Structure 1
Amino acid sequence: MSESAASSERQPLMDPKQSATVSSHYGATADDTENAYGAAGLGGAHHAAQDGDLITRSEAQNLKRGLAQRHLSMLGIAGAIGTGLFLSLGSAIQTAGPLGALLGYAVIGLVVCAVQFALGEVAALLPVTGSFVRHAEFLVDPALGFAVGWNLVYGNILSIPAEITAICVLFQFWTDITPVVWIVIFIVLTSAVGFAFIRVFGEIEFTFAMLKILLVVFLIILGLVINLGGIPGTERIGFRYWHDPGPFVELLPIASGDWGRFLGFWSVMTGAVFSFAGVESLAMAAAEARNPRRAIPKACKRVFARIVIFYMLAVLIVGMLVASDDERLGDDSGTAATSPFVLAASAAGIPAIASVVNAVVITSAWSASNQSLLSGTRVLYGLALKGQAPKIFLRTTSWGTPYVCVGLFSLFMLLSFMSLSDGAYTAFWWLVDLTAAGVLISWSTILFNHLRLKMALRKQGIDPSRLPWHNSWTIYSSAIALPMCILILLTGGFTTFCEGQWDTATFISSYLDIPLVLGAYLIWKFVKKTKLVSLDSIPLIDALEQAEQYPDEPEPKAHSAWKVISWIWD
């Protein structure tokens, strides 16, 4: 085992193999124990120690670059295509109608586009462990990085046992074997992936993503065949359900008429956000990616296009297959029986589809737990680099895994056993609900980081074209998507404020994460006396010079055998 360098050894690197002189913008060198990026790591007294840094010596020397561009692309796809697509689309159709659900997912798809491009532009300049958490320290305020970072750690720690619990429910579709067996198996498997080489994680997620994509394509084609009457003994459906019961659904008993239909559409967007959750995880391990300045932007661009296409087609097909007033859509068993694709296939005389969907959803849940482990441990490692978490979390194995971080997360996987007790199970899900709104907080942080970067470039008179990846229109997309994310966050639980509709669990899942993050921000700001980083003092010149002096190597072209399917990630 090797232990990462202490915070006093954290100098920005111009190259993973060589330390060089930091720009004379601050007159500091790589030998300084405190430099322009805040080597003291604790939000020191002067602005130079505001905790924003480039790649540190610790992550460059102790983490291994084992993720290729295809891994990053498929990581984003695997994170976004999961139970939300396979099981929850029926609920969206039931709530908003086929057109309302399609419009809701389209709006969130555009927000995801803005988030992905914003993340890609900033991460290409600053490819660091912890991604947008560290970007917030560099571009906004160390206190923001602390608050968002620990919120992500907390959320990911709880999401892993939540996914393992979901796996137990999914296996009940086939067998009555005690859930203890599945809990133990998947705790061991998830921990093993966490402790393994980062390349092992990349290949596993690559495989899971391929399975998900193949299933989505298969279900879309099957749904279209069923809809057009291509299965013997079935009639053509077409857009029948768009006419009766109609394209929109009123959100009764809260409201009726046009206002009720609008609220039905609006209520779908919160669910759509959580369906797309995970697309931002592809940059979390940027310091462990090969050629990150080239690979991350490429992955962000590719992932957005593929995911939106898959989701839009899936929502469209589901809205054509199942009527919004179908009572079976309200089944909350949590297995493949709730999937609208399964309902349509069963009606067409193909019951085996249920087992196929259930099997892939199990891999989706395990994939989600793996991604939570990667994201959470890398954020925790990044917090430790900045002195915002104990230094023991900087320890890594000889093959580059932050084993203390993984060990902590593995310990919390034991919370899965709370699902065996009704009272403990309820308490556990209350804990999970506390960070349910964390996705929108993370997206808002990504967009705000990007706006700060663009504003700093303008303030310092730097041409944005000097960025490793630049799009002229993203300043506008981020400016529109940020208030949209905040609006959805603030209205996510609007139904609880309507007369007779109060639900404590919904209120907690919708809003309690907001004061948690604000409280963490204010506490760190008060204790460490951090300040908002001024736009003209963000050391962008240093970051740009590093990117220009050590550009990424060109990606090798795909072998001819891969070209048939490599369009998915390349």
Structure 2
Amino acid sequence: MANAHPEDKSTIYGGVQEQGTAPRAFSPHPSNDGELQQDFQTDLVTAIEQRDLRRGLAERHLSMLGIAGAIGTGLFLSLGGSIQTGGPLGALLGYGTVGLVVCAVQFALGEVAALLPVTGSFVRHAEFLVDPAWGFAIGWNLVYGNLLSIPSELTAICVLFEYWTDLNPSVFIIVFIVLTVAVGFSFVRIFGEVEYAFAILKILLVIFLIILGLVIDLGGVPGTPRIGFRYWKNPGPFVEYIGTGSWGQFLGYWSVMTAAVFSFAGVESIAMAAAETQNPAKAIPRACKNVFYRIILFYGLAILVVGMLVSSDDERLNDQSGTAAQSPFVIAASAAGIKAIPSVVNAIVITSAWSSSNQALLSGTRVLYGLALKGQAPKIFLRTTPWGTPYMCVLLFTAFMFLSFMSLSNSAMTVFWWLVDLTAAAVLVSWSSVLLNHIRLRAALDKQGIPASSLPWSNRITPYTSRAALCMTLLILLTGGWTVFTKGNWSAVGFVSAYLDIPLVIGAYLIWKFYKKTSIVPLSEIPLRKALEQTSTSFSQDVV
């Protein structure tokens, strides 16, 4: 492997190839300890990742990755449950509230990632802007969550195939493990093209279902009456959940909001492969700021249409099969006599589940690579293929994919889903960290007298939206398991799955903090001027 010489050593941003470094050969071994130690002392884009990774993701890939992250199985299958819990208006308000939080998260991520386009995204940002121990804590929390989310998605694929066939589920597990690993080991551009294709399929299906739903609702299908907003009047726009009266209706809305968080899970991973993105200072902000329109168009219209199509007290919403049969779109289409819709929805949901597993693999492996860069994970995970894939990271995630075989045993499956539930709060922890990073960045700019307009991308309202969204995110996190505290609803498993992640993250933070004796980075000492200078240089050379 052609290591960078000390005099060639530089830390840079953007798409500029480091100067004076020979082309990289196959690197079966990580870089030498001296080079690693030098890289550990900075949070800028290191010479190691700049040399060993490849910029294969284009702006169009990032834009579609953002869409793929926002449109998942939850949109196709779970909206009916939200209507059932909160009513059509309660569900619309719940998803709308979380949608605004997601917009704030994406705008905050865009501002920081444009300045610091590093592998691992907000995990490395946390070390640079907050505390190295905090970066360690949320980094390993993300790795742990993605290690379990991939087999959970593979298990979901098996359940979805059961809608069509009784073939042994192990066949589908093996097939999709092979496919996922193949994408994971390939060029990052191949991953981008696969997700690009999936995103187009999902967009087309969502548009089709929204139009179909409106046609059914307005009586456009022969033999079906016009529905209009009938279900908003009876049984009503809200549903009483656990409580009664206005309080019960509020609890229904709040329950929808806590569930909606996990429908949007994954949108924060858009910048995880920033060091593998062409011109990240331009591409990442553009992809982030478009999330607002995606949420309004896809989730807003979809929830509105579902609330018009299906009554909140419809017994068919109790279907827990995990297949297309529980989709409110399928319920409405079946009632209208349209037989092909269930299979179409089921097929697209399968691609959505596999898309989610691919995104979890990319996100998890890049976070692990970033942790190894900073000396917070074994340096064996720095090994890359000639085309820039961190193959040792992929191998670790491949080993955990075989946990999906636990789905073949009922008792093992119970344990497996319990472990998956433990990672649910990690979404809110990640969002909180993105927002905290941004708040610290803006505070450091003020402290050092640097105008926000100096950033590669900025917005005048983000200092306010980040603070408001952080408060809301923490509130949702702390009330995530609120139902177990109500009379007759106590569940030890529910309590642990809702709250165990909080002490795990805090424990990891304190352990690394005391072990490495780290401290919160003073606002005046964050090297923002150096970062701005390097970002400006890389952007100008990218344009040239």
TM-score normalised to the size of structure 1?
0.90
Distance 1:271 1:296 in 2: 27
> Do the aligned partners of residues 359 and 94 (structure 1) sit closer, same or farther apart at CA in structure 2, a change above 3 Å counting?
same
Offset from partner CA, 1:164-215 (integer Å, 9 cap, x none) = 0000000000000000100000000000000000000000000000000000
Could you tell me how far 1:498 is from its partner in structure 2? 0.6
Displacement, 1:495?
Answer: 0.6
Cα gap change, 1:10/1:389 in structure 2, threshold over 3 Å: closer, same or farther? farther
> Residues 73 and 408 from structure 1, CA distance in 2 versus in 1: closer, same or farther, beyond 3 angstroms?
same
Q: Please give the alpha-carbon distance, in whole angstroms, between the structure 1 residues aligned to 2:285 and 2:351.
A: 27
Give the count of matched residue pairs.
531
Q: How does 1:435-514 map to 2 (within 5 A)?
A: 435-514=423-502
In structure 1, the partner of 2:364 is 376
Deviation at 1:321, TM superposition (A): 0.2
Residues 1:314 and 2:299 aligned together: no
Counterpart in the other structure of 1:17: 17
Residue equivalent to 1:193 = 183
Please give the residue correspondences for 1:127-166 in structure 2 after superposition, counting only pairs within 5 Å.
Answer: 127-166=117-156
Q: Secondary structure at the match of 1:550?
A: helix
Distance 1:200 1:449 in 2: 31
Q: Residue 88 of structure 1 aligns to a residue in which SS? A: helix
* Cα displacement (A) at 1:551: 1.1
Aligned mate of 1:346, from 334, 340, 345:
334
Q: Residue type matched to 2:271 in 1?
A: A
1:69 aligns with 2:59: yes
The 5-angstrom pairing of residues 221-236 of structure 1 reads: 221-236=211-226
SS at match of 2:290: helix
Q: In 1, are the aligned partners of 2:423 and 2:501 still within 8 Å (CA)? A: yes
Q: Which moved more, 1:174-183 or 1:428-437?
A: 428-437
Partner of 2:272: 284
**Alpha-carbon displacement from aligned partner over 1:430-485 (angstroms, at most 9, x marks no partner):** 11111111110000000000000000000000011000001011000001000100
Query: Which residue of 1 is the match for residue 30 of structure 2?
Result: none
> Relative to structure 1, is the Cα distance of residues 194 and 406 closer, same or farther in structure 2, using a 3 angstrom cutoff?
same
Counterpart of 1:240 in structure 2 is 230
Contact between 1:395 and 1:402, CA under 8 Å: does it hold in 2?
yes
**Which of 31, 34, 45 is the matching residue for 1:55?**
45
What residue in structure 2 maps to residue 562 of structure 1?
none
For residue 26 of structure 2, what is the aligned residue in structure 1? none
What's the counterpart of residue 525 of structure 1? Answer: 513
- Counterpart position of 2:384: 396
TM value normalised by structure 2: 0.95
Give yes or no for the alignment of 1:537 onto 2:525. yes
In 1, the alpha carbon distance for the partners of 2:68 and 2:8 equals: 36
Is the 8 Å Cα contact of residues 119 and 275 (structure 2) preserved in structure 1?
yes
Change over 3 Å in CA distance of 1:10–1:113 after alignment to 2: farther
AA matched with 1:13: I
- Tell me if structure 2 keeps the 8 A contact 1:130–1:284: yes
Structure with the larger helix share: 2
Name the CA distance, whole Å, in 2 between partners of 1:356 and 1:555.
43
SS of the residue aligned with 2:320? Answer: coil
Structure 2 vs 1, CA of residues 9 and 370 (structure 1 numbering), >3 Å: closer, same or farther?
A: farther
Provide closer, same or farther for how the CA distance between residues 345 and 421 of structure 1 changes in structure 2, counting only shifts above 3 A.
same
Q: Among all aligned residue pairs of Structure 1 and Structure 2, give the percentage whose two residues are the same amino acid.
A: 70
Aligned counterpart in structure 2 of residue 123 of structure 1, from 113, 129, 137: 113
Distance 2:470 2:9 in 1: 33
Residues 555 and 493 of structure 1: CA distance in aligned 2, closer, same or farther (over 3 Å): farther
Q: In structure 2, what is the Cα distance between the partners aligned to 1:308 and 1:340? A: 19
- For the residue of structure 2 that corresponds to 1:445, the secondary structure is helix
Q: 1:3 to 1:387 in 2, by over 3 A?
A: farther
Shift of 1:3: 9.0
Which of 90, 95, 113 is residue 100 of structure 1 equivalent to? 90
Residue of structure 2 equivalent to 1:563? none
- Whichever residue aligns with residue 446 of structure 2, its letter is R
The answer to whether residue 81 in structure 2 is matched with residue 82 in structure 1 is no
Gaps of 5+ in 2: 21-32
**Counterpart mapping for 1:198-213 below 5 A:** 198-213=188-203
The question of whether the paired residues in 1 share the 8 Å contact of 2:57 and 2:278 is answered with yes
Is the contact between residue 12 and residue 535 of structure 2 (CA under 8 Å) also seen in structure 1?
A: no
Aligned structure 1 segments of 4 or more residues deviating by more than 6 angstroms: 3-10, 553-556
- In structure 1, the gaps of 5 or more residues are 21-32, 42-48, 557-570
User: Structure 1 residues 503, 11: CA separation in 2 closer, same or farther (over 3 Å shift)?
Assistant: farther
Q: Which residue of 1 aligns with 2:24?
A: none
Contact 2:139 2:368 in 1 (8 A): yes
8 A Cα contact 2:39 2:46, kept in partner = no
Q: Which amino acid aligns with 2:537?
A: Q
Residue 552 of structure 1 deviates from its aligned partner by 5.4
Once the two structures are superposed, residues 128-164 of structure 1 have per-residue CA deviations (whole angstroms, 9 ceiling, x without a partner) of: 0000000000000000100000000000010000000
Instruction: Report how far residue 428 of structure 1 moved.
Output: 1.0
Contact 2:16 2:541 in 1 (8 A): no
Shift of 1:492: 1.0
- CA–CA separation in structure 1 for the residues paired with 2:283 and 2:316: 43
Shift of the 438–7 alpha-carbon distance from structure 1 to 2, 3 Å rule, reads farther
Change (3 A) 1:388 1:354: same
Amino acid at match of 1:344: A
**Partner amino acid, structure 1, of 2:226:** R
Matching residue of 2:536: 548
Partner Cα separation in structure 2 for residue 324 and residue 145 of structure 1: 43
Which residue identity does 1:420 align to in structure 2?
L
Are the aligned partners of 2:110 and 2:284 in contact in 1 as well (CA < 8 Å)?
yes
Conserved 8 A contact 2:12-2:538? no
Query: Which residue number corresponds to residue 215 of structure 1?
Result: 205
Q: 1:355 aligns with which of 303, 322, 343?
A: 343
Please report the RMSD computed on the Cα atoms of aligned residues, expressed in angstroms: 2.1
Tell me if structure 1 keeps the 8 A contact 2:66–2:267: yes
The equivalent of 2:400 in structure 1 is 412
Distance 2:417 2:373 in 1: 31
Distance 2:505 2:527 in 1: 27
How much has 1:17 moved relative to structure 2? 2.3
Counterpart amino acid of residue 222 in structure 2: P
Q: Offset at 1:509?
A: 2.4
Contact 2:18 2:47 in 1 (8 A): no
Partner of residue 318, structure 2: 330
CA distance in 2 between partners of 1:85 and 1:553 (Å): 41
Structure 1 residues 552 and 155: alpha-carbon distance in aligned structure 2, compared to 1, 3 A threshold? farther
Identify if the C-alpha distance between structure 1 residues 239 and 292 changes in structure 2 by more than 3 Å, giving closer, same or farther. Answer: same
